[in-house]
Amino acid sequence: MQYEAGNFDVIVIGAGHAGCEAGLAAARLGAKTLMITINLDMVAFMPCNPSVGGPAKGIVVREIDALGGEMGKNIDKTHIQMRMLNTGKGPAVRALRAQADKFSYQHEMKKTIENEPNMTLLQGMVDRLLIEDEAVQGVITMTGAIYRSKTVVITTGTFLRGEIILGELKYSSGPNNQQPSIKLSEHLQELGFDLVRFKTGTPPRVNSHTIDYSKTEIQPGDEIPQAFSYETTKYITDQLPCWLTYTNERTHLLIDENLHRSPMYSGMIKGTGPRYCPSIEDKVVRFNDKPRHQIFLEPEGRNTQEVYVQGLSTSLPEDVQQQIMKTIPGLENVQMMRAGYAIEYDAIVPTQLWPTLETKKIKNLYTAGQINGTSGYEEAAGQGLMAGINAGRKALNREELILSRSDAYIGVLIDDLITKGTNEPYRLLTSRAEYRLLLRHDNADLRLTEIGHEMGLISEERYERFLKKKEQIEAEKLRLKSIILKPTEQVQELIQSMGGSELKDGIRASDLLKRPEMTYGHVETLAPNEISLDTDVKEQVEIQVKYEGYIEKSLQQVDRLKKMENKKIPENIDYNKITGLATEARQKLTQIKPLTLAQASRISGVNPADISILLVYIEQGRVARISNQ
């Protein structure tokens, strides 16, 4: 029996990291939103490592925050440890990483969602979508409830036809033994979506009481309090450490002897796993010259004894997992609480999406997170936010939002997915960003707050604060440019003490700051400012002045990109009517349907000659004419 259960603007299927951001964004920009999840106890669950951030990913969390998302605020409230990574390197690659209290993280996120106006949170399993005229109209749950809506976002993670593999054992399951979503996957296939099978894995969890920490190295958090969110004012100072130990030759020998029982090598696992997240058996096989591998022991929270064994992701049988751990210093007598496992799941081929994350096949239907072939909480959250913004705005008849590769890592992520597709679960890496000097974690607010505000996701109070910060940065840069420091004793002494070469002449304060040994702090003592500036303003001034030349170079590249991005390709263009295009280019262009010439040029198989021809058509307005025919 089916029944009408309610009408909404936006429905979000799933409440993982993508779903939470999608639902919150849609509700916050004023859309009446329904979030449906298979199990309400699984909201914002972390099925794998208990951490948020890190290189590239940490920058995404900052970007989410600048756009009014929740992940940064939530982890700021619930971490057990925070560290700034890559501090010895340049500003472009620094990144925050937090160890999460998994359980608090979930509870805090659930609380936020429950208290959100415009939001309905519901437990249920969606079996089918309501489709009319190739547009989605709502969803139908397994209990027969029909929820109608203007747009739908699917964020099913690894639930779609999920199968857990543990040694010789294989069974139908979502992550952490949750009920999998089978009918929805079949339904998507019926609708004509291309699906792929991906695989990912997780290591065992062990009881902290049974670890001999004296045989491991301590990995404490930073002493300086830090936060992801630009709104966080309260910092957690009571931190828990992680611990480091290593595998050894005995471990490797044991794995080697049991390889025949590994589903990876017996052929039981067919899905493609990520190269950047190999199982321990993979590492031992592929890098057999390495005498040891690092194992990080990470607490899963403050109120649990469960410890995550990072570095030991595996799908070997349970008994082998236990034996492996006994070879590792500190884990000799460890009690395994949960075994590691691999999980296979369905994802849709992401080239079937527009840059807004709407599907090309079904109008008003959006997808985000692992269903789009990515891996990682941050990648999921970033997409969820964008899908939520766009689904919400579309439902409210507003223009959708697309971030460029030069705006944000989120832009890089989505463009990579929808333009190039992916053969393995996609993870963001700093090397994927062409303009990473511009996409820093420290300037995420400068890059994106304006957009977040325009979307209605940034409060007026915060926006005012942002404008003031921006103004102060510009004023201070100008001030340093206008001050000439004479080679006085004080100046020379300071320069000498830092190991720099003495001044022969007067120098602009900004030019002195450009010297590698000089910091803003030094220059400030020589050219004090009457107004006291915040640390983050000072940091911006220092970075922007110090790396001006390199930033300028990157900006020139962005200029070239922007010119190409401004050349729009109409959606309904018929590439078969354009003479001169190579056959492969014609096929790829028809499949990907790029929105701009810039996007077209990134498609593999489309060469510069094809781009020239497209350009000719666009410039002459002929594309429009072909499209109208």
Partner 1 sequence: MEFDTIVAISTPMGEGAIAIVRLSGDEAIPIADSIFKSIGAKRLTDVPSHTIHYGHLVDPANGQAVEEVMVSLMKGPKTFTKEDVVEINCHGGIVSVNRVLQLVLKNGARLAEPGEFTKRAFLNGRIDLSQAEAVMDLIRAKTDRAMNVALGQMEGRLSKLIRKLRQEILETLAHVEVNIDYPEYDDVEEMTHHMLLEKASLVRSELKKLLQTSEQGKILREGLSTVIVGRPNVGKSSLLNSLVHENKAIVTDIPGTTRDVIEEYVNVRGVPLRLLDTAGIRETEDIVERIGVEKSRQVLKEADLILLVLNYADSLTVEDENIFKAVSGLDVIVIVNKTDLPGKIDSDRVRELAKGHKIVTTSLLDDKGVDELEEAISSLFFEGSLESGDMTYVSNSRHIALLHQALQLMEDAIQGVEMGTPIDIVQIDLTRTWELLGEIIGESIHESLIDQLFSQFCLGK
* Three-class secondary structure of residue 529 per DSSP: coil
Residues 20, 47 contacting (CB under 8 angstroms): no
Residue 345: beta bridge partners? 198
Which region among 11-19, 121-129, 179-187, 603-611 touches partner 1 (by CB under 8 A)? 603-611
Least CB distance to partner 1 at residue 563 (A): 6
Least CB distance to partner 1 at residue 83 (A): 9
- Rounded distance between C-alpha atoms, residue 508 and residue 515, angstroms: 11
CA distances from 22 to 176, 245, 274, 355, 578 (A): 23, 38, 25, 16, 39
49 is an interface residue for partner 1 by CB under 8 A: yes
* Three-class secondary structure of residue 292 per DSSP: coil
Q: Nearer Cβ to partner 1, position 215 or 275?
A: 275
Residues between 146 and 185 that touch partner 1 (CB under 8 A): none
517 is an interface residue for partner 1 by CB under 8 A: yes
Residues between 283 and 322 that touch partner 1 (CB under 8 A): 283, 286-287, 290, 292-294, 296, 310-311, 313
Q: Does residue 628 come out as left (phi exceeding 0), alpha (psi in the -120 to 50 range) or beta? A: alpha
Determine which residue in the list 329, 615, 626, 627 makes contact with partner 1, applying CB under 8 A: 615
Tell me the per-residue interface mask from 407 to 426 with partner 1, x by CB under 8 A, - otherwise.
-------------x------
Least CB distance to partner 1 at residue 219 (A): 8
Q: Nearer Cβ to partner 1, position 177 or 294?
A: 294
Least CB distance to partner 1 at residue 93 (A): 5
CA 190 to chain centre: 30
Residues 222, 84 contacting (CB under 8 angstroms): yes
- Residue 579: Cβ within 10 Å count: 7
* Three-class secondary structure of residue 259 per DSSP: helix
- Per DSSP, the residues of 187-210 read HHHHTT--EEEEEEEE--EEEGGG
- Rounded distance between C-alpha atoms, residue 371 and residue 390, angstroms: 17
437 is an interface residue for partner 1 by CB under 8 A: yes
Determine which residue in the list 482, 553, 556, 624 makes contact with partner 1, applying CB under 8 A: 553
- Rounded distance between C-alpha atoms, residue 576 and residue 598, angstroms: 20
Tell me the per-residue interface mask from 337 to 366 with partner 1, x by CB under 8 A, - otherwise.
------------------------------
- State phi, psi for 537 to the nearest 5 degrees: -70, -45
Least CB distance to partner 1 at residue 366 (A): 26
568 is an interface residue for partner 1 by CB under 8 A: no
Q: Nearer Cβ to partner 1, position 93 or 196?
A: 93
278 is an interface residue for partner 1 by CB under 8 A: yes
Which of 147, 149, 157, 160 is closest to 187 using CA atoms?
160
Q: 499: exposed, middle or buried (C-beta count within 10 Å: 0-12, 13-18, 19+)? A: exposed
Least CB distance to partner 1 at residue 558 (A): 13
Which region among 162-170, 486-494, 524-532, 545-553 touches partner 1 (by CB under 8 A)? 545-553
- Residue 402: CA count within 13 A, CB half-sphere: 16
Least CB distance to partner 1 at residue 469 (A): 24
Tell me the per-residue interface mask from 66 to 85 with partner 1, x by CB under 8 A, - otherwise.
-------------------x
**463 contact partners, CB below 8 Å, separation of at least 6:** 449, 453
Angle at 133 between CA 130 and CA 134, to 5 degrees: 70
Total residues contacting partner 1 (rule CB under 8 A)? 57
Strand 242-246 relative to strand 217-219, pairing: antiparallel
277 is an interface residue for partner 1 by CB under 8 A: yes
Which region among 16-24, 105-113, 278-286, 472-480 touches partner 1 (by CB under 8 A)? 278-286
Residues between 87 and 106 that touch partner 1 (CB under 8 A): 89-93
Point out which residues bind partner 1 (CB under 8 A): 48-49, 55-56, 85-86, 89-93, 203, 274-278, 282-283, 286-287, 290, 292-294, 296, 310-311, 313, 420, 429-432, 434, 436-437, 516-517, 547, 550, 553-554, 563, 579-580, 604, 607-609, 612-613, 615-616, 619-620, 622
